[in-house]
Amino acid sequence: MCLSDTPSDQPPPVPVPPEVLAHVVDVHCHPTDSPISPALMDTLHVRLCAMATRGSDQALLFLHVGCRTSACLLLSASRWTSTSSTHAALCAIGYHPWFAHWIAVKPFASKEEHYRSLFLDPSSKPERIEAFERLLPGLPEPTLLSDVLTGLRENLSAFPNAMLGEVGLDRACRIPYGPPSAPPYALDETRRELSPFTIPLPHQLAILEAQLDLAVGLRRNVSVHSVKCQQATVELLDRSRSRHGDAWNTISIDMHSCGLSAQTWKDLEKKHSNIFLSLSVVINSRSPAHRDLIATCSSNRILVESDYHDPAYSTSETWKMLQMVAEVKGWTLEDTWEDDVLPEQWGAVRRVEENWRLFEKGDHRPIRKKDKRKLLLEDWESDEEDKKPPEVEECGQTSPQFVSFMLGDVGDIGSALLAWEGGEDFSDINAVVQDIQGVVHGYRGVFLDVFPTVRPRFTTPFCVSWTMRPKDIRADRPRVRCK
């Protein structure tokens, strides 16, 4: 959510025809933060996944965007319903972490008592108490979490296609002074001074976990915000998986515009088969690390979004992110649309659209506890699921144990599939292949995760010849020839 960022007065035109844009989904945006114009909606060609953030915008979302069936109330032009069997626009309703302090997890004697318990303690200094007294009048009467959950359950049940979102964790957000604005929020241009108060993480976690429980119970996918909460987010997701068991994999989780490191993302993917990543230009391009994150994210887990408060920018912002994903992943980008394109010729639009289909469908294959080799091999295989297997051409057999292959792919940093005959476990091989640039996958052996970097993309010829026997590898550095 990014109310303060508007890139320009007019969104730039996107140089592709509507037939292409009809396959693009802005998986996280806030269209009801701005006044909704039917004329604009008529010219909007991308599909939207529209988020609510608090109680006051849920009704607005259903009124303007939401769909009880695939025919949306506002977006009901025939092209929307005819472009896809899925929805032209999806609603997500939930309580954003920026407003978690408005919710009380237990009964409270008064508004002041509730907010005091969140922001002050017996050791609070006089200036903090003064700031609290200035903040308090602008804060709304708290709502009990049990009431919030009852309302959320009712709304989610009334709208069977709705997701849960935007929910999450945010340790950076400071609470502004002054009363909250009424929707559409983007019309309120008051620059509010920020108070020193952030919302305690345990409080945010209690509210997020309760909402996630509801989502699992009702089998709804979720859009999750995570800012400066990397460790807490990982622990929460792990805890949710343990608590819900197989039910956890029936839903999909989109980590939206998140600031996770590439390594954290990689670890999350290995543990959770139901987690997807969507990035936005407006939030993620602030950090140069976003390219690493894109490169690290499996090809079948990446989505794109605008995170915009104005649907006028959904198309251009989502397209910009799609261009970036295509560039980093080495994918082509469709500029015309033809039906029946073979998977090996898919560009970024088709690939990401397919990812969205998998996200919407849910019911992900659980990752069972197994040895690392099987786990990672399966991970690699699922990455290539539904796509043509990589073109692998034998280019030399240098010992009875080893066969090397001519491969596609290197990408910016490089990756390779290394295959061999024989059943030896090279689980300690990482230590000696550090000078191979890239991720090396042992096709019938161990998955060699040398650098936390790109997955195979199989576009550029790349050769790896392995010239040593297994017993020698541990004793010496391997000779690896790449071209």
Written as six digits, the tokens of 167 are 């929910």
Nearer to Zn ion, 172 or 289 (CB): 172
Nearer to Zn ion, 166 or 254 (CB): 166
- Give the range of 13-21, 290-298, 303-311, 373-381 binding Zn ion by CB under 5 A: 303-311
Nearer to Zn ion, 11 or 330 (CB): 11
Amino acid at 243: R
Footprint (CB under 5 A) of Zn ion, residues 306-325: 307
- Give the range of 98-106, 201-209, 220-228, 297-305 binding Zn ion by CB under 5 A: 220-228
Least distance (Å) between residue 99 CB and Zn ion: 12
Nearer to Zn ion, 155 or 284 (CB): 284
Residue 20, C-beta contacts closer than 8 angstroms, at least 6 positions apart:
334, 335, 336, 337, 349
* Phi, psi angles (nearest 5°) of residue 186: -70, -15
C-alpha 311/C-alpha 148 separation (Å) is 28
Least distance (Å) between residue 177 CB and Zn ion: 22
**Residues touching Zn ion, count (CB under 5 A):** 4
Least distance (Å) between residue 256 CB and Zn ion: 6
Q: Determine contact, residues 363/247, Cβ cutoff 8 Å.
A: no
- Give the range of 82-90, 219-227, 419-427, 475-483 binding Zn ion by CB under 5 A: 219-227
Beta bridge mates, 403? 419
Footprint (CB under 5 A) of Zn ion, residues 152-181: 166
Cα distances from 296 to residues 236, 319, 351, 479, in angstroms, run: 22, 20, 16, 26
Angle between helices 372-383 and 262-271 (to 10 degrees): 100
Residue 107 — left, alpha, or beta (φ > 0 → left; ψ -120 to 50 → alpha)? beta
- Give the range of 190-198, 302-310, 390-398, 408-416 binding Zn ion by CB under 5 A: 302-310
Q: In a 10 Å sphere around its CB, with 0-12 CB exposed, 13-18 middle and 19+ buried, how is residue 222 labelled?
A: buried
Nearer to Zn ion, 52 or 446 (CB): 52
Angle between helices 201-218 and 230-244 (to 10 degrees): 40
Nearer to Zn ion, 31 or 442 (CB): 31
Least distance (Å) between residue 1 CB and Zn ion: 3
How many Cα neighbours within 13 Å face the side chain of 253?
30
C-alpha 156/C-alpha 455 separation (Å) is 37
Least distance (Å) between residue 367 CB and Zn ion: 26
Q: In a 10 Å sphere around its CB, with 0-12 CB exposed, 13-18 middle and 19+ buried, how is residue 423 labelled?
A: exposed
C-alpha 250/C-alpha 469 separation (Å) is 44
Least distance (Å) between residue 105 CB and Zn ion: 22
Residue 1 touching Zn ion (CB under 5 A): yes
Nearer to Zn ion, 225 or 441 (CB): 225
Nearer to Zn ion, 166 or 353 (CB): 166
Nearer to Zn ion, 98 or 447 (CB): 98
Q: In a 10 Å sphere around its CB, with 0-12 CB exposed, 13-18 middle and 19+ buried, how is residue 143 labelled?
A: middle
Nearer to Zn ion, 224 or 295 (CB): 224
Nearer to Zn ion, 166 or 409 (CB): 166
Least distance (Å) between residue 232 CB and Zn ion: 15
Least distance (Å) between residue 26 CB and Zn ion: 11
Q: Under DSSP, is residue 120 helix (H, G, I), strand (E, B) or coil?
A: coil
Q: Which of 23, 47, 203, 225 binds Zn ion (CB under 5 A)?
A: 225
Residue 186 touching Zn ion (CB under 5 A): no
Least distance (Å) between residue 5 CB and Zn ion: 11
Least distance (Å) between residue 25 CB and Zn ion: 15
Least distance (Å) between residue 30 CB and Zn ion: 6
Length of the chain: 483
Residue 54 touching Zn ion (CB under 5 A): no
**x-or-dash string of contact with Zn ion, 357-376, rule CB under 5 A:** --------------------
Least distance (Å) between residue 7 CB and Zn ion: 16
- Give the range of 9-17, 84-92, 118-126, 301-309 binding Zn ion by CB under 5 A: 301-309
Q: Under DSSP, is residue 10 helix (H, G, I), strand (E, B) or coil?
A: coil
CB atoms within 10 A of CB 304: 31
Nearer to Zn ion, 306 or 465 (CB): 306
Query: Helix-strand-coil percent breakdown of the chain, rounded to 5?
Result: 40, 15, 45
Binding residues for Zn ion (CB under 5 A) = 1, 166, 225, 307
